[in-house]
Amino acid sequence: MRIYATDSPRAVSRLLALAMIVDGHLAPAELKAMHHSGILQGVGIDEDDFDDVVQELCEDLLATAHQRGAGEVEIDAKLLDGLLHDVEDPALRMGTMKAMLDIVHADTVLDGRETLLIQRAFKAWGAPVAARAA
């Protein structure tokens, strides 16, 4: 897996891309939700660079996949935690989480893999008090 600087636009973009593809496909509504969130502009990355990050993520996932059964790539927990810990700034985490939630809810179908990604992010980043109480 490529290494991006902590709190960098590419580290954030990789998590957004993962939120889009974790369910096995990229829905146009998810891409629209990400653009609508304004996070790319907020972290200072343009669409071409974001597209590069998506391509790199797909290449890296295929190269590091432990299991490729039925055309699906399984991401192990240690790798996912490492990607999540590439974003450390609390405000950046909050913005990234909001955008990830917007993305996974955009197509109105919450896939189990999307749920696991969001749960893992809450665990890695520390869920807000309101989320823990729910």
Against a cut of 0.85, is the pTM above it? yes
Contacts (Cβ under 8 Å, ≥6 apart) of 120: 77, 80, 81, 84
Number of C-beta neighbours around residue 11 at 10 A: 23
For 24-35, what is each residue's pLDDT tens digit?
888 899 989 888
Per-residue pLDDT at 108 exceeds 80: yes
> pLDDT-based confidence at 62, cuts 50/70/90?
confident
**According to the model, what pLDDT value does residue 97 have?**
95
- 16-20, 46-50, 65-69, 86-90: least confidently modelled range: 65-69
Instruction: Provide the percentage of residues in the chain whose pLDDT is more than 70.
Output: 87
Distance, in Å, from the CA atom of 39 to the CA atom of 134, rounded to the nearest integer, reads 26
Structure tokens at 14: 């990789």
> pLDDT-based confidence at 63, cuts 50/70/90?
confident
Q: Which residue has the higher pLDDT, 132 or 40?
A: 40
